């Protein structure tokens, strides 16, 4: 619960964010980067390895 100290509102980091941090953003970045690398590898082997 937010507290008032010296005319300022004081909250914990979780209260200020409004939610708990999760690994969701990290997972999305890792998986999307991996898929892009795989896609480029497939494109390379299909079109440029003749």
Which one is predicted more confidently, 8 or 29?
29
- pLDDT for position 8: 85
Q: Tell me how far apart the alpha carbons of residues 15 and 9 are, in angstroms, rounded to a whole number.
A: 11
The residues, ordered by sequence, that sit 6+ positions from 1 with a Cβ below 8 Å of its Cβ are 15
Say whether pLDDT at 20 is over 70.
no
Q: What pTM does this model have? A: 0.54
């Amino acid at each position: 619960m937010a507290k008032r100290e010296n005319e300022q509102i004081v909250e914990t980091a979780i209260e200020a964010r409004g939610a708990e941090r999760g690994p969701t953003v990290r997972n999305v970045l890792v998986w999307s980067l991996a898929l892009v690398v795989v896609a480029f590898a497939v494109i390379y082997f299909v079109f440029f390895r003749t």
